Structure formats: C-alpha cells, structure tokens
Amino acid sequence: MKKITIQHIKNLKSLKTSFPTITAYDYMSAKIVDEAEIPLILVGDSASMMIYGYDTTIPISMEEILLLTKAVSRGSKRSLIVADMPFLSYQPSIEETIKNAGKLMKEGGAAAVKLEGGVRIKQNVYALVEHGIPVLGHVGLTPQSYHQMSGYKVQGKNNQEAKQIIDDACALEEASAFGIVLECIPEALAEKITNTLTIPTIGIGSGKKCDGQIQVFHDILGYSSDKPPGHAMQYDSLYSSVLKSVKKYKSDIES
C-alpha cells in the first residue's frame, strides 16, 4: 500500500470537495483511520486530555507524544502521520525544535510535525523545512496558549486579531509549511485565508470554507465522559456503550 505524501496533501487544495483528517493516538485507532482511507492522521497533543487525563495540552511531554506516535505509525500503512510538537519542545530555540522534531520523525515514524503559532515561530518552521522536516502550521485558537488567551475562545473576531491571524498564516506559507490548521476562527476569516494561500487550510470550528477539516477521534465517537466542544461532529456514543459492556461483563462474572 502506498503511503500518502506531502505533495498528495498539497494537491488536495485543488479538489472541489473538502477533505477529512483526524487525530489518532494508538495502534488500533490508527488502523481504523487508515482503513477508512483518511489521508492524514494527527497524533495531536489533545492526547494530553484524551489519553493521559491532563486538563489541557500544556503538560504532555515529548516522551509521552513520542510513545503514541510510534504506536500510530505501526497501525497506519497509508495515511500521512503528523506528530504534534508539545508545549516548550520548540519555543526555546531552533536547536531544540530540530532535535525534538527529528525524534518524532526518526524514532516515532512521523512524516511531519505540527507547531502552534505564526510570525513568532516563522524561523523555527523555516529551519525545520530546511532540515527536511515538513511542517503543518496551526493558527487561530492555539490551545497551548490557554492561559495567555484566558481560556478557549473564538479568535479573530475583531479587525486587529483577524489581521494578526492572516499575517501568521502568510508567515507560515512563506516559511514553507505544507498546510495550516485554522482553529476556531470566524468562517469568513477562514475563507479569506483559504483563498489567499496556495497551501491547504484544515479547519476545526472555523466553518465549512476551509480546504479540509480535522476532528478529534474521541469526539466523533463520543468516547469521553466530558461534554464535547461545540464544533465536535459526533457519530457514536462509545463512552456509554463501552460502559454498558463493562457493566454487563461485571454482572455476568458476579452471577
């Protein structure tokens, strides 16, 4: 089976229809996503909450995301695997950025990495690409800045914020990112960025006008006891059905 390439993802921009992407954090979910022919899997730092039970994406470490990336790589034969770079694994210096991104590729088997930020991390993105490490950008609501943003809120609602997000997206394209996640920005702004850039935009909570969409694996399956975010597209209620099965097992054994 042929692996999806970066060029393939870039070419998806010219499709008339939107393309799906999704997160996965383990071997079996990666197998399922692969079999469903989703072209791109993100080993997202949302694993911080979904897998490790932390409150935000801030605590997850390089070691924790690396373990998950290895498992996803073993499960996926076809999808392009992008690994999220954890908070403070790229902000301190270009050297740290390259060393940590290199680990996710060399040891984890990822084909690319994702970083949050725009203008502020342009040099890091440029250096990664120069060293042969493809980059997916991420602007708008950047969850690693949870405290800086005083919580999770739609970004880019006023002109000044919107201009900053456009500048960030353009900086990432100039630094040769192959695509950009647009998280929780108004649909009209997402459309403007999508029409301005030559690389694909992948939206979450940013309306229907992006080139592609991304969702969190556990959100689409309803596999969480927490209320999903408003933009989650839920197709199942796994948490309650798994709970039912485990309870049934318990009562079978006890009787």
Q: Catalytic site residues?
A: 183
CB-nearest residue to ligand KIV:
44
Which positions ≥6 away from 187 have C-beta within 8 Å?
206, 207, 208, 209
Of 206, 208, 202, 233, which is closest to residue 12 (Cα–Cα)? Answer: 202
- Return the SS3 of 206: coil
Count other Cβ atoms within 10 Å, centred on residue 150: 8
The partner residues of 180 in beta bridges, in order of sequence, read 137, 201
* 204 counts as binding ligand KIV under rule CB under 6 A: yes
Q: Which one, 151 or 252, has the nearer CB to ligand KIV? A: 151
CB of 255 to ligand KIV, least distance (A): 41
Annotate each residue in 142-181 with x if it binds ligand KIV (CB under 6 A) or - if it does not, as one string.
---------------------------------------x
* Shortest Å distance, C-beta 36 to ligand KIV: 18
**Other Cβ atoms closer than 10 A to 58:** 16
Nearer to ligand KIV, 44 or 200 (CB): 44
The one among 182, 216, 220, 221 contacting ligand KIV by CB under 6 A: 216
Please give the C-alpha separations between residue 87 and each of 60, 82, 154, 224, in angstroms, as whole numbers.
8, 16, 20, 23
> How many binding residues for ligand KIV (CB under 6 A)?
11
* Site residues, ligand KIV (CB under 6 A): 23, 42, 44-46, 84, 181, 183, 204, 214, 216
